[in-house]
């Protein structure tokens, strides 16, 4: 009965796209939609969840933006809601980047700083462990295993600045990383706020022991996380 009442009175429409848009994915394996991940869209300035999409794949994102453009296009100004977006903060997903480059060519895409560091740390550790496995020198193997000991002591290392084209994360995402240093209202554009929303979404899912009905899941998340969203009669 509670579910029937909720489904009857809670129908939350998507909100207009903001000037600064944050995107992130969330693992939703039990959804009745054929996708393991949903996609959250948030206003970076206000923290309001704009919409939740049942899929994060490029094909669905293209469909969503195409539909939004068609739905909001003005023949008088020759613009749509997509033209309002000035910045897009993403987690270094190639799908996210290519989609917004296609539909919002004037928007500045920013790579989330946490994911940049995460990628670099992961790549560094992969190289470190590979060198440890292949070196015959037990002393060098120990240093590579306990590299924090070296970094935390006064060891003279070669720190001459050099540009290395083999660091693909930096070269492939150079402009987006530079864009991420943009500051708005005293805050650097990043995905920290939407990541906190992700944790709140996970708590909702845990409390409910999961959801299968995506439409209900979407409405439940928006109803709980957005203060202004409410039921209708």
Q: CA 131 → CA 134, 142, 167, 169, 231, distances in Å?
A: 5, 11, 17, 20, 59
CA distance 93 to 42: 16
Cα–Cα–Cα angle for 127, 131, 134, nearest 5°? 140
Q: CA 28 → CA 3, 101, 165, 198, 212, distances in Å?
A: 20, 27, 37, 11, 9
Residues of 218-233 as b/e, b for ≥16 C-beta within 10 angstroms?
A: bbbbbeebbeebeeee
DSSP states of 152-212: TS-----------TT-HHHHHTHHHHHHTT-EETTEE--SHHHHHHHHHHHHHHHHTT---
Proportion of the chain above pLDDT 90, given as a percent: 68
By CB neighbour count within 10 A (0-12 exposed, 13-18 middle, 19+ buried), where does 207 fall?
exposed
Candidates 105, 59, 98; CA nearest to 82 is 105
Question: Are 115 and 91 a contacting pair, CB within 8 Å?
Answer: yes
Reported as a single tens digit per residue, the pLDDT across 165-198 is 666 777 889 999 999 999 999 999 999 999 999 9
Q: What stretches of the chain show up as alpha helix (H) in DSSP?
A: 2-9, 58-72, 94-103, 113-134, 138-145, 147-151, 168-172, 174-179, 192-207, 214-225
The more confidently predicted of residues 220 and 208 is 220
Q: What pLDDT does 77 receive?
A: 94
The more confidently predicted of residues 178 and 138 is 178
Range of weakest confidence among 70-79, 109-118, 150-159? 150-159
Tokens encoding 149: 């000991």
**pLDDT exceeds cutoff 90 at 107:** yes
Q: Which of the four pLDDT bands, split at 50, 70 and 90, describes residue 164?
A: low
**pLDDT exceeds cutoff 80 at 156:** no
pTM for the complete prediction? 0.82
CB atoms within 10 A of CB 179: 17
Q: What pLDDT does 125 receive?
A: 81
């Amino acid at each position: 009965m509670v579910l029937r009442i909720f489904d009857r009175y809670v129908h939350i429409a998507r909100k207009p796209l903001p000037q600064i848009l944050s995107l992130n994915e969330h693992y939703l394996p039990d959804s009745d939609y054929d996708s393991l991940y949903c996609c959250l869209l948030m206003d970076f300035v206000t923290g309001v969840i704009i919409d939740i999409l049942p899929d994060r794949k490029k094909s669905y994102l293209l469909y969503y933006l195409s539909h939004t453009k068609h739905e909001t296009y003005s023949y008088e100004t020759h613009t749509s809601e997509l033209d309002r977006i000035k910045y897009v903060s993403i987690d270094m997903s190639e799908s996210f980047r290519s989609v917004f480059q296609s539909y919002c060519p004037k928007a500045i895409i920013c790579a989330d700083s946490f994911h940049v560091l995460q990628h670099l740390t992961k790549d560094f550790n992969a190289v470190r462990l590979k060198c440890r496995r292949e070196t015959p020198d037990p002393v060098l193997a120990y240093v590579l295993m306990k590299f924090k000991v070296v970094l935390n002591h006064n060891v003279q290392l070669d720190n001459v600045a050099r540009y290395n084209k083999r660091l693909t994360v930096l070269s492939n995402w150079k402009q987006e990383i530079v864009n991420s240093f943009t500051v708005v209202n005293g805050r650097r554009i990043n995905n920290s706020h939407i990541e906190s929303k992700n944790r709140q979404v996970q708590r909702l899912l845990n409390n409910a022991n999961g959801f299968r009905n995506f439409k209900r899941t979407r409405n439940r998340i928006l109803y709980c996380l957005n203060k202004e969203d409410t039921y209708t009669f």
